[in-house]
Structure 1
Amino acid sequence: MKNVDIDLNLLVALDVLLAEGSVTAAAQRLGLSISAMSRTLARLRAATGDPLLVRAGRGMVPTPRAKELREHVHILTRDAQAVLRPQIDELDVGALDLTFTIRVSEAFMEFLSARVVAAVSTAAPGVCLRFAPKPDKDAGPLRDGIIDLEIGVIGTTAPEIRTRFLFNDRLVGLVRTEHWLLAGGDAIRPEAYAACHHIAVSKDGNTAGPIDTALHALGLSRSIRVVVPGFPDAMRIARQSDLVALVPQSCVGNHQTPDHDAMVGLTSFDLPVATPDFRISAMWHPRMDADPAHKWLRDTVIGVCRTAYRHR
C-alpha cells in the first residue's frame, strides 16, 4: 500500500470549518482569505472523500460524515495543540500568538468589550479575541473547549465549572430624558411606573421577571408593547419613544462613566419596587486552571470588569 503524506495543518482547518459551518467565518477565524479557505476545503474534500459542507440556500450544512467527524476532529486538534504547546514557567505575554474565544452577552459587547480589547492588545498585541454570542447558559462549549471564558450570570448545572465573582448588578428603569415619568422630580411611584408602556427583553418570548412578581404583589402589572432580544436594543427604542426599558445597572454605567455614548438622551431611575440583585461572574473549565496564558487572560478580563464597577 502506498504511503500518503498527510498535512496535519488540514486538521486545524477542518476543526474550524466544522465548528463554523461557513467558509467565510472559518477564514476570518484563521486569518485567511476566503479563496484560500475555499482551496483548503477542496483539499479536505479530496483527503476525506466527502463533500463535508454543501450549499443549502445562502448557507452551508454539514454532511452526515462531517457530523460524525466533528467531535472527534475537535478532540484531536485540542490534544495536538496541547502536546505542541511548550510548558511555560514564566509567561512572556508580549510574545503570545493565540486566539481566545469569550462568550458574552450583547450588553457586555456594548459596554465592556472595548475596555477588554484595549487591555489585552496593549499587553499582548499578538493575541486575537473572538467574542461569541450567548444564546443560552449551556456548559457544553466550555467543557468541549469551544469557549475559553464566559462572562455572565451563573446558570449552568455543571458542578466542575470554575467561577470568579466580578460584580453585583441590579435592574433599573430607563426612559428618554424628557419623559413625563421624570417630571415630578421625586421617587417614581409603582402606579405611575405600571401605567407606562414597556419594552421587555427576551430571547425566547418569555417576558415575566422579578419586576412583574413585585408589581403583582401590589395588584399592578406592566403593559408590554415591544419585545426585543437584547438590552442595547431596548435602550435604542427607549431613546426615541415614550416606552420604558428595564436594563441592568451595568448597561447605564456608574458615577465613573455616567455620560457614555449609549446614555445620550436617556435617564435611568431606581425602580419603585424591590427586585433582587444578581451576580456577574467569570466562568471557565478546570482543565484551564494551570494554563499560564489562560490565567493571564481571565485575570485581565476580571480586572477590567472589577475596575469598571468597583465603586458600585
Structure 2
Amino acid sequence: MTIPDMNLLTALDVLLAEKSVAGAAYQLGLSASATSRTLTRLRLITGDPLLVRAGRKMVLTPYAESIQERTRLAVRDVLDILQPNIQPLDLASLERTFTIRANEGFVETFAPTLINHFAKQAPRVRLRFMPKQQKSPEALREGKVDLEIGVIKNMGPEIRVKALFYDRFVSVVRKGHPLDQCKVVSTQEYCQFSHIIASRSGDFSGPVDEELKAQYVTRHIAATVPSFPAALEVARNSDLIALVPASFLLNEPLNSDSSSLWAFELPVRTKDITISMMWHPRLQLDSAHIWLREQVDKVCQDALKNRWF
C-alpha cells in the first residue's frame, strides 16, 4: 500500500484556510513556487482542483469545502498524537489504580506510609501491591505492573531504573539471646549459633557463607524460609540468628527496652544492596506515573532519614 506524504495534509489545511497560494506559502514558510507544486500534487491525489480562480481571487471547489473541517480536525489530531500536551495533574479528582510489585519486606516497611500519603493527596487513587514471584520484565512490558521495586536482575535493556536507597545485611537475634546486647560479634561467636535465612529457592548458602569460607569457617544454617519477615519471626521466637536487610527493621524499635529484637553488624563484609524502582518506557512521560515515582522516592527518603544503619 502506498502511504501518502503526511506533510501534504498540513499543506492542504493551510491552502483551504488561506484560499491563496501566496498566503499559504507565507504560513508554511515555503516559496510560492514550492507551494504551487504542492497544490498540484494535492490535485493529482484527490482528483479535484480544490482551488480555482474567480476573478482576482481563488475559491474552494465543493469538494474542498466538504473536506475543510475534516482536514482541520485531522491535522489537529495528528499534532496531538505527535506532540502530546501533558496537562497538570488534578490529584483531588485523579482516579487510577497503580500496581506495584515488591517483596513482603518492602510492603511491610513502606506501604503503610505510602498508602496514608496517597490518601491525603489523591484520595481516589488505589494501590495494588503484588508479590515478586519471579524477577522478569514481562509484567512491566505487558502493562500488568506499573512499578517494580527491588534489586535489578534479568530486566530488559529498555526498562527504566532509578535507585531508591542502598541497603545491607545485618544479623538479628531475640532479646535474651546469648548475643543480645553485643555490638561487635566475632566470626567465631557468630558461627557458634545456628542460623535462619530467607531463600525463595531454598538454598542453604549465600554471600555471607562465601565470605566465611574465605576465612576458613562455616556456619550452620538450620532452616530456610521464603521471606525476610518470616526469618525475623523465627528469630524472635528461637535462638537462631536471622540474616535480613537493615531496611526491614525501620519500623522495629531496635536495641531498646521495648524491642523484642537485637540487631548487630555481620562479622564479615558483604556487598551493599541497591534497591531500585523500575518501569516501562511507555510510562516515562505519563504525568500520573511521574507523580507515582516521585511519591515512592519521597516516602523512602523520608523513612530513611533517621535510620540506624
Give the structure-2-normalised TM-score: 0.69
Structure 1 residues 303, 186: closer, same or farther in 2, change over 3 A? Answer: closer
The CA deviation at 1:156 is: 2.7
Partner residue in 2 for 1:123? 121
Percent identity of equivalent pairs? 44
1:169, 1:278 within 8 Å by CA — same for their partners in 2?
yes
The separation in 2 between residues aligned to 1:157 and 1:91, in whole angstroms, is 30
Return the letter of the residue paired with 2:192.
A
Change (3 A) 1:118 1:270: same
Distance 1:249 1:169 in 2: 6
Three-state SS of the structure 2 residue aligned to 1:180 is coil
Measured at CA, do residues 102 and 208 of structure 1 come closer, stay the same or move farther in structure 2, by a change above 3 Å?
Answer: same
Q: Provide the rounded CA distance (Å) in 2 between the counterparts of 1:267 and 1:247.
A: 12
Residue 182 of structure 1 and its aligned partner are, at CA, apart by 3.2
The one-letter code of the counterpart of 2:259 is V
The 2-side partners of 1:300 and 1:234 are apart by 29
Deviation of 1:258 (Å): 3.7
> Structure 1 residues 87, 130: closer, same or farther in 2, change over 3 A?
farther
Q: Which residue of 1 aligns with 2:186?
A: 189
Question: Residue 303 of structure 2 is aligned with which of 284, 308, 311?
Answer: 308
| Alignment deviations for residues 57-95 of structure 1 (CA, whole Å, 9 cap, x no partner) | xxxxxxxxxxxxxxxxxxxxxxxxxx9xx9651110111
Q: How far 1:280 moved relative to its partner? A: 0.5
Contact kept, 8 Å, 1:201 with 1:207, in 2: the verdict is no
Tell me the secondary structure at the aligned position of residue 181 of structure 1. Answer: coil
Q: Contact conserved, 1:212 with 1:221, CA < 8 A, in 2?
A: yes
Q: Secondary structure at the match of 1:89?
A: coil
Change (3 A) 1:213 1:259: closer
> Given residue 214 of structure 1, which amino acid in structure 2 is its aligned partner?
E
Amino acid at match of 1:238: A
Query: Is 1:274 the equivalent of 2:272?
Result: no
Unaligned runs of 5+ in 1: 1-82
Which amino acid is 2:119 matched to?
S
Distance in 2 (alpha carbons) for counterparts of 1:119 and 1:275: 34
For residues 206 and 103 of structure 1, what CA distance do their matches in structure 2 show? 23
Separation in structure 2 between the aligned mates of residue 148 and residue 260 of structure 1, nearest angstrom = 37
Give distance in 2, aligned partners of 1:156 and 1:304: 26
User: Is 1:202–2:199 an aligned residue pair?
Assistant: yes
Residue 120 of structure 1 and its aligned partner are, at CA, apart by 1.1
2:203/2:224 contact within 8 Å kept? no
Deviation readout 1:248-288 (Å, 9 max, x if unpaired)? 0001128xx64599x93001000011111111011100100
1:175 to 173, 176, 182: 173
| 2:244 aligned to which of 223, 231, 247 | 247
Q: Match for 2:216 among 203, 219, 228? A: 219
Number of aligned pairs? 224
* Preserved contact between residue 177 and residue 267 of structure 1 (Cα < 8 Å): yes
Unmatched segments (≥5 aa) in structure 2: 1-80
Question: How big is the shift at 1:178?
Answer: 1.1
Single out whichever of 107-116 and 167-176 deviates more from structure 2.
Answer: 107-116
RMSD of the TM alignment (CA)? 2.2
Deviating above 2 A after TM superposition, structure 1's stretches of 4 or more consecutive aligned residues are 257-261
Judged with a 3 Å threshold, the aligned counterparts in structure 2 of structure 1 residues 248 and 186 are, in CA distance, closer, same or farther, namely closer
Q: What is the one-letter code of the residue matched to 1:213? A: E
> Out of 260, 284, 287, which is 1:289 matched to?
284
Q: CA 1:227–1:280 in 2, change beyond 3 Å: closer, same or farther?
A: same
